[in-house]
Amino acid sequence: MSPAGENGTPVPGMDLRHARDGLSTAEVRERTASGRINSVPTATSRSVREIVQANVFTLFNGVVGGCFILLLFLGQWRDALFGLSAISNSLIGIVQEYRAKRSLDQLAILQAARSTVVRNGTRESISSEDLVPDDLVVLNAGDQVTADLLLLGDSPLEVDESLLTGESEPVPKTGGAVLLSGSLILAGNGRATVLRVGPDTFAYRLAAEARRFSLVTSEIRRGLEKVFTVITWLLLPTALLLTNAQMQDQGGWAGALGSGRWIPAAVGAIAGIMAMIPLGLLLMTSVAFAVGGLRLARQKVLIQELAAVEVLARVDVLCLDKTGTLSSGSIVFDAIHDAGTARAAGWRAALEWFGANADASSTAAAIGAAFPVQRPLQEQDSVPFSSARKWSSATFGPESAASGTWILGAPDAVLGSAGSARAHDKAAALASTGLRTLALAHLPAPLPSGAADSGLPTDLVPVMILTFRESIRRDAAATLDYFRRQGVSVKIISGDDPRTVAALAGAVGFGSGAAYDARTLPLDRLQLEEAVEACDLFGSVTPSQKRDLIQALKRRGHTVAMTGDGVNDVLALKEADLGIAMDSASPATKAVARLVLLDGRFERLPAVVDEGRRAISNIERVSLVFLSKTVYATVISIVTGILLLAFPFLPRQLSALDGLTIGLPSFFLALQPGGQRYAPGFLRRSLAFAVPAGICGALCVLAVSGYAQIWSGHSQEAAQSAATVTLGLVAAWILVMASRPLNVTKVLILAGMYAGLVLLFTVPLTQEFFRVDWPPAGLLVPAVAVAAAGCGAIEIIGRLTRRRPAAGGPGLGPLTLEPASREADGGNAGHRDGPVSR
């Protein structure tokens, strides 16, 4: 997107009075009344109503809520405990997203700023939101441009547009040029008139696409959605089968409805339906992500969306914007170089004067930091820097330590007059390395009259060449090295000159290769994909090209993270699987990023990766337990419905087992430390274990329940207790399999689970509340024997699914994650199962 009127002329209808006195009060009121003010919508996320709707009004919450209300209506509140899980899950999602919304809504396109305007012939300071079209704005060095302006007069300005274009070089602006909202005045002063305000500004239009709310791409979320889709299709027919079976068990529909026995039939049907829904898995996933978000918040990392914690565990390509990410964006002095002639005396004092200039540009400020002085020399004459001239000068008297005239500026402007071939070659060679160069020349006498307009004299003597570089973040090299060791490809995508990008990459140990000039990127999609795969450094990249490069990487099957800090990065951040913004980022950039490094420390990223790996590793372990439960509950419900058997559990009994063998242990497992590489295929691995394990558990329960109800003639209460014992032992062993490898903490968790199962059948209060008791010996022995056989079968299933195939790739089982410290495979172990061979 390019600004309109970049080389525009004065605004039509502008008169001398306006250029001198600005708008009148009446003109300001007229524009304000018509809504033409510099106010932009700041809401960058869903409304509170939309957040509540997204987290509460879901299909499963509707089913759970309906069953919950029905049980309360029937007076069976003990069987409605499952409702607490659904409520907790919704509350966690609402609170987390609302916290992120508050952070987002406090971010605007521009930082809060004030502007100096001329109205009614008088200067006044107003809020930038109160600017209106045709306002006359006074600009000085250090001011932020908060609306699109048209520069008036001949006073040149140096403007930093890096937040908009990614280009860190100051841009010269003269009368008639457009100043874009979001840029910063580095040097000079002048006046400008307001062209566009609010949503019409360049910065707002550039970021408009990024404001649309979207969810982060989460493999866990996609996997669970697939599971829930299958369950959704099974719910209604299973509910009908179960309801019919329970009515038949109570004497048929007519008998049950006429005698009031339909209530236990309804409770049994609800028990089967609720057991199929893995509500706890949603809750534990939210808890794991939320805890990850809290841990990262302590490290000054803001999580905008829960699932963003997971994505970095899967990232295999990290794209970095240079300015503000690898570099701080500021200019620092590099070195001085011989210009091929003897250095004139007083050069240091001259540099001190240029660096001490109160109206210095960022480059001059870097000189001041390298050559500090408390009291600079007093000049006789000086010529301020001009973008048209590309040089500035200072003349000192003969008694001064730096007598004569000193000229500092661009080598092509200064050395062109000096005429030293060696100095020209030296400056060109230094510039080709990506360093910013200035030339210092000397003239023993004052500058000829009119030299500022007619040009420098030809008898200048080159004194030296100064080089400058961008300030590199001290943590950049170590962080890049971490990602390389972890098998994550790093690509630098910058709007800066390719030579500058290559020089900075070399300074952080990224290599010495040349950067790809994005101006020559192919338009063909396939060729673009090949180019982005082959090269790691890109310069002169436009905002739309950044997005195109991200899309090309994603088409190649990569999971891409992108860091940035400018408005020019928002399209790429939006497109990436995970956008990461630095603290120095524009508010629009922070608004679209999923992670914000609040203290701007690039070295935080490894900790974010580790936290993502911990979360996804523990969620995968927890999912084994919950999906196994869904499988055995679905099988039990369908079989009992088809065979017209009584459902073997009460809802409260399933709630007790869920809490002891799944809920509480899974909560602690979800918080366990972990540093494993993640291999794609979360759902495939989970189901490879959960389906056979769940079927095995269902067969054990059906065998014990059928024996108790049909062949042994025991009461329904005894049959339910025997089924509860069987399922408790089988579900406990599924948890043991999911917890491996064991450590002290996990052993204590498992020991507590088994102790809880014993207490459930022993403590009178729990016996009465959950309607369980130790089954008679004639049922207890078969129940334990069947459960032991089921545990043995599950052990075999777990070992088979954990075993690696002969090719050496990850197996199908739940425990295929590799320790992050294992480097034998060159850092790519976690990605060998991915869509792209690396």
Catalytic residues: 321
Helix (H, G, I), strand (E, B) or coil at 451: helix
Counting Cα atoms < 13 Å in the Cβ hemisphere of 233 gives 5
Helix (H, G, I), strand (E, B) or coil at 375: coil
Residue 698 and residue 720: Cα distance in Å, rounded? 14
Distances from the Cα of 395 to the Cα of 400, 449, 453, 454, 819, angstroms: 10, 13, 17, 18, 66
Backbone φ and ψ of 534, nearest 5°: -80, -25
Neighbouring-strand partners of residue 110: none
Residue 269 and residue 241: Cα distance in Å, rounded? 9
Give the helix ranges, DSSP H, for 740-776: 744-760, 764-770
Q: Are 647 and 635 a contacting pair, CB within 8 Å?
A: no
Residue 659 and residue 736: Cα distance in Å, rounded? 15
Residue 17 and residue 14: Cα distance in Å, rounded? 8
Crossing angle, helix 48-56 and helix 82-105, to 10 degrees? 150
**Burial of 378 (C-beta count, 10 Å sphere; 0-12/13-18/19+):** exposed
Residue 802 and residue 796: Cα distance in Å, rounded? 10
Which residues fall within 8 angstroms of residue 97, CB to CB, at 6 or more apart?
A: 45, 46, 51, 54, 55, 305, 306
Residue 514 and residue 504: Cα distance in Å, rounded? 11
- Rg over alpha carbons for the chain, rounded to the nearest Å, is 35
Give the alpha-carbon dihedral of 618, 624, 627, 632, to 10 degrees: -150
Q: Are 637 and 718 a contacting pair, CB within 8 Å?
A: no
Residue 719 and residue 725: Cα distance in Å, rounded? 10
Distances from the Cα of 606 to the Cα of 194, 363, 478, 585, 823, angstroms: 45, 33, 10, 20, 16
Residue with tokens 């910013």: 436
Kindly report whether the peptide bond that precedes residue 741 is cis, defined as omega within 30 degrees of 0: yes
The H or E element that residue 366 is part of is helix 362-370
Helix (H, G, I), strand (E, B) or coil at 326: coil
3-state helix, strand, coil in the chain (%, to 5): 55, 15, 30
Give the alpha-carbon dihedral of 681, 682, 685, 691, to 10 degrees: -130
DSSP codes of every residue in 236-258: HHHHHHHHHHHHHHTTHHHHHHH
